[in-house]
Each structure stands twice: as C-alpha cells, then as structure tokens.
Structure 1
C-alpha cells in the first residue's frame, strides 16, 4: 500500500490513477497532441467544465490536471 494511504482508505481511492498517463480512455483529450495535454505541456490550464455521469473520472482528471500544472 502506498505510504500516503491508510489501511482504511477506500479501495476506489487507492486505485485512482495518479498520473494523466495512467488514465484509461479520454485519449481524444489526454493523448500526446490532444487539447488538454497540449495545455498541460504549455503549463497553462484555463477554467474548464468536466461534464458527465457520476463515477466516470471527472474529479480524478481535474485533480491530475491541477497537479500537472502545479495548481491547487
């Protein structure tokens, strides 16, 4: 178990991708040369709205994008 997780951390949180490259799907946005990937590589991330059903990874993608451009 990674050091930043406790034994009682929910499995879903422990299994959450930790890098943009670890995300499965969303290649049209996150692959090399794709729109969000280009913004991250430029170090610029404007305000965006992620839309979709619950549980599809919106929060995970938002957190990883923020981490990638070193924003809170």
Structure 2
C-alpha cells in the first residue's frame, strides 16, 4: 500500500468493527512506534480522541469496544 510509506499525515475512516484489527495490522506493517490518533464521533457532541503510538492504540481497542464513526489520523513516516 503506497500510503504506508507516505511522508505526510494520513487520515482515513475505519469501521468500529474493524478498528482493532486495522491497528494491529498497522503495527505489524509499520511498527508500533508510529504516532496516531483515533477519533470517535468527530465534530459531534460526544467526540473522543485517543492519542498514542499505533501499538498503544491497538492494545486499547483490542480491549475496548469501539462504537460510532471512527477516523484514524496516522502520523507521517519518519
């Protein structure tokens, strides 16, 4: 996938049912140190932000169920 080596920030939508798997795959292919943010219900009353490394976010979403619309902000490759 071309965007995995992108030198800029990458923003994409993900299903709440696939977010844990997506983050685990990102960790596997990109390494766990890449910074990221998972935003739930962006621009709505109950929006939440989860910031950390891809590894930290993968662990969090493997243990917690995600609901709502999910946006992933993946930091640029260093």
TM-score (ref. length: structure 1): 0.28
Larger of the two Rg values belongs to structure:
1
TM-score (ref. length: structure 2): 0.27
The structure with the greater share of residues assigned to strand is: 2
